[in-house]
Structure 1
Amino acid sequence: MNFIDLFSGAGGLSEGFIKAGFNPIAHVEMDTHACNTLETRLIYHKLKAENKLDHYYNYLNNKTSREKFISVFGDMLLSKSVLNVSIGGKNNDDIFRKIDELSGDKGIDLVIGGPPCQAYSLVGRARDKDGMKNDPRNYLYKEYAKFLKNYDPTVFVFENVIGLITADEGKYFKNMKAYFKRIGYELDYTIQNSADFGVLQKRKRIILIGWRKNSNFNYPKFSKVNKSWKVQDLLTDLKKLKPGEQNHITKYEKASTDYLNKFELRNGVDFVTQHIARPHNERDLEIYKIAVNKWLKKEERLKYPDLPERLKTHKNEKSFVDRYKVVDPNGYSHTMVAHIAKDGHHYIYPDTKQIRSLSVREAARIQSFPDDFYFEGGRSAAFRQIGNAVPPLMAKEIALEISKAL
Structure 2
Amino acid sequence: EDILSMVGQVDVVIGSPPCEAFTGANPRRKPAPLDRLFDDPQGRLVLHYIRLVGDLKPSVFVMENVPALAEGPLREALRNEFARVGYTSVYFNLLRAEDYGTPSHRLRLFISNIRLKPPVSGRRVTVIEAIGDLPPPSSPHDVPNHELVPLSSKKQRRISKLKWGEALIRYAGAEGKIYYNYVRLHPYRPAPTVMGSSRFVHPFEDRLLTVREQARLMGFPDNHVFRGGRDVQFDQVGEAVPPPLARAIASEVKKHLSV
The correspondence for 2:238, drawn from 387, 391, 396, is: 387
The correspondence for 1:277, drawn from 144, 148, 153, is: 148
Deviation at residue 182 of structure 1 after TM alignment: 2.4
Aligned residue number for residue 126 of structure 2: 230
Aligned residue number for residue 138 of structure 1: 43
Aligned residue number for residue 154 of structure 1: 59
Matched, 1:401 2:259: no
Aligned residue number for residue 83 of structure 2: 181
Larger Rg: 1
| 3-state SS of paired residue (1:119) | coil
Aligned residue number for residue 192 of structure 2: 334
Q: Percent identity?
A: 28
The correspondence for 2:203, drawn from 350, 354, 357, is: 350
Aligned residue number for residue 112 of structure 1: 14
Q: Which amino acid aligns with 1:370?
A: P
**Deviations along 1:248-294, whole A, 9 cap, x unmatched?**
xx2xxxxxxxxxxxxxxxxxxxx421111210001111111111xx2
Deviation at residue 175 of structure 1 after TM alignment: 0.5
- Aligned CA RMSD, in angstroms, stands at 2.3
CA contact 2:102–2:124 (8 Å) conserved in 1: no
CA contact 2:66–2:109 (8 Å) conserved in 1: yes
Structure number with higher helix proportion: 1
1:302 to 1:375, Cα distance in 2 relative to 1, 3 A: closer
1:401 to 1:336, Cα distance in 2 relative to 1, 3 A: same
**Deviations along 1:158-203, whole A, 9 cap, x unmatched?**
110011122xxx2223211211022211211221100011101100
Deviation at residue 232 of structure 1 after TM alignment: 0.5
1:401 to 1:320, Cα distance in 2 relative to 1, 3 A: closer
| 3-state SS of paired residue (2:251) | helix
Q: Which amino acid aligns with 1:357?
A: L
- Cα distance between partner residues in 2 of 1:367 and 1:386: 7
- Cα distance between partner residues in 2 of 1:118 and 1:357: 25
CA contact 2:99–2:124 (8 Å) conserved in 1: no
- Cα distance between partner residues in 1 of 2:55 and 2:244: 30
Q: Which amino acid aligns with 2:93?
A: T
Task: Number of aligned residue pairs: give it.
Answer: 246
Matched, 1:241 2:137: yes
Gaps of 5+ in 2: 171-175
1:335 to 1:151, Cα distance in 2 relative to 1, 3 A: same
CA contact 1:157–1:209 (8 Å) conserved in 2: yes
1:200 to 1:129, Cα distance in 2 relative to 1, 3 A: closer
- Cα distance between partner residues in 2 of 1:235 and 1:200: 10
TM-score, normalised relative to structure 1: 0.57
| 3-state SS of paired residue (2:134) | coil
Q: Which amino acid aligns with 1:329?
A: P
The correspondence for 2:213, drawn from 353, 359, 362, is: 362
| 3-state SS of paired residue (1:273) | coil
Aligned residue number for residue 115 of structure 2: 219
CA contact 1:220–1:405 (8 Å) conserved in 2: no
TM-score, normalised relative to structure 2: 0.87
Aligned residue number for residue 6 of structure 2: 102
Deviation at residue 220 of structure 1 after TM alignment: 3.5
Q: Which amino acid aligns with 1:359?
A: T
